[in-house]
Chain A
């Protein structure tokens, strides 16, 4: 009969195999490829590529700026998620849909907008210049680009936690005479911490790899404004694939570590 044919065990296996194959071909293979290639000539050339001052300074700078961008996103993102969940106001749903837009926009366009809005010819850029600091083509622009690109992560990670939160604990806290700030820090914050941590780490690893927006707004000067992704691009363009792969491995390993930590944190959050 047809139904028994449909229920055949082979389907499950087939389905699983397809999913696994998909995963292997799309994710595991390319990433393993980078690792294999980076070490294809042994440890010494790899170490040489990594210990190049331009390379490691680019990685350090990227780590530093991505960290700053992440902190900004955690603060602003938590506030935005809070407002979107707790308050009812006109335009809330539109605002809520707008949050994801940075994902839909080619990041180069984001970079272009930063150039237009904060460049020396704009009034913000002009004002900053008169006050004696530069935005575009200096580190602030890179941070702004990273914040823009990773904007949705923290918000989207916290929102469901806030929405599902049981109001009774909060009410109990107020009834027992706790102030608003005490309630926030002692009752609400612990409940959304896994979301904040998860969102922050996703944002951080995404910021590490950001290229399209950064290459436009950064001056790309080694040790000052050259980020790791732009450095890698330069190595590929000048036919030094090994150097590109070595720095990629460094970034990939960092990102892998971060993603693994997110997983741990989130699992612990769920258990509690």
Chain B
């Protein structure tokens, strides 16, 4: 039995890695073309300058939502690194949905630093022995930003939605992405399920998974569209579909900053979203970029970088920076984290396994 399991896993990894290898090849081809273009410019700069001990290139594999922040942080880091070491750091960046990015890295995309939307995706990298198991020893358990799951409504919140329970009211059209197609959407479903657990605690005095499942079902009964990704949900909402969408606070804040007229409803009971980053150990050792990669990762916790995150809608993990932005990011009274649901392992086994709770809700069993 175990043997069979093993074989199954290895067969599917081979299949997957084959597919991703080709993707990785295309990506790295593009990356090398890109590098070819930029390195000549760097050389010109270097020849006139301070005689650095060779310039260095850092490959970033990140999830798409964090793109704006990373692109603001990179120049800050380049400046700092140049001042400290005289080296010029060139960046190659790739932005994909978190799960896709994780699979691309496993399949051969040689990222030095990975920024992903959930721990489970970094776990894919540790499982492939790309990232060492000690990645959580960094500050805040390896998490660079946090956010909360929120509800976005139309201007002035015409339906008076205050909590996830309000989404179950008759006639409310709800949007959220499908965690089957978007790993990041697991946060949204975790939030609704967890809010159900909280409710059961208040009513019955203990966490009741059956109650939470029924709660999730009642919200799901109002689903208008189960989109491919968080971005697709947002797009549908922008085209006028639905009354409310469940998404990350930072997604919604970023939209509103660009002029969209939505309301951010932070429910009292909601989940703390934590986004990890890690150095991809095997790749930095191969490229000889460990020093600069570690420095970049540490820089993500610096005051400067954390402020950039905060301005882009994330809740900073750095307490000083958080204090500065506190009024923008009030802490909801019933905030819980993934441990409240038993941790990622438990969530993967009960909610998102093959015939797990999410499947049952989808299939209406």
Contacts and interface: CB of A to CB of B under 8 A. Distances in A.
B11 A119 contact: no
Contacts, number: 72
B182 interface: yes
B226 A220 contact: yes
B158 interface: no
B224 interface: yes
B232 A216 contact: yes
A222 interface: yes
Contact of B8 (A41, A115, A216, A226): A41
Given A40-B11, A136-B241, A237-B181, A223 B364 contact: yes
Interface string A119-156: 11100010000000000110000000000000000000
B73 to A, nearest CB: 29
Interface stretch (A70-78, A170-178, A239-247, A252-260): A239-247
A222 B362 contact: yes
A221 B226 contact: yes
B20 to A, nearest CB: 11
Interface of B (DSSP majority class): mixed
Nearest to B225: A219
A137 B232 CA distance: 12
B324 interface: no
A237 B99 contact: yes
A120 B16 CA distance: 40
A241 B12 contact: yes
Given A215-B228, A216-B232, A221-B226, A238 B180 contact: yes
Contacts of A235: 180
A269 interface: no
B241 to A, nearest CB: 6
B257 interface: no
Interface in B200-243: 223-228, 232, 236, 239-241
B306 interface: no
B32 interface: no
Given A216-B232, A221-B226, A137 B11 contact: no
B71 interface: no
A221 B181 contact: no
Contacts of A238: 179-181, 352
A242 B99 CA distance: 18
B241 A137 contact: yes
> Chain B interface: which size bin?
20 to 34
A233 interface: yes
A70 B11 CA distance: 39
Nearest to B97: A237
Interface core residue of B183, B227, B239 (most chain A CB under 10 Å)? B239
Nearest to A54: B363
B12 A119 contact: no
Interface string B1-35: 00000001001100110000000000000000000
B241 A237 contact: no
A119 B15 contact: no
B142 to A, nearest CB: 23
Contact of A53 (B8, B232, B363): B363
Contact of A220 (B8, B179, B228, B240): B228
Interface string A83-109: 000000000000000000000000000
A234 B181 contact: yes
Interface of A: 37, 40-41, 52-54, 115-116, 119-121, 125, 136-137, 215-216, 218-223, 226, 230, 233-235, 237-242
Given A220-B226, A238-B352, A241-B12, 19 more contacts: A40-B11, A52-B363, A54-B362, A54-B363, A115-B236, A136-B241, A137-B224, A215-B232, A216-B232, A220-B227, A222-B363, A223-B363, A226-B226, A230-B228, A233-B228, A237-B100, A238-B179, A239-B12, A239-B16
12 contacts: A41-B8, A218-B225, A219-B224, A219-B226, A220-B178, A220-B227, A221-B223, A222-B362, A222-B363, A222-B364, A237-B181, A238-B181
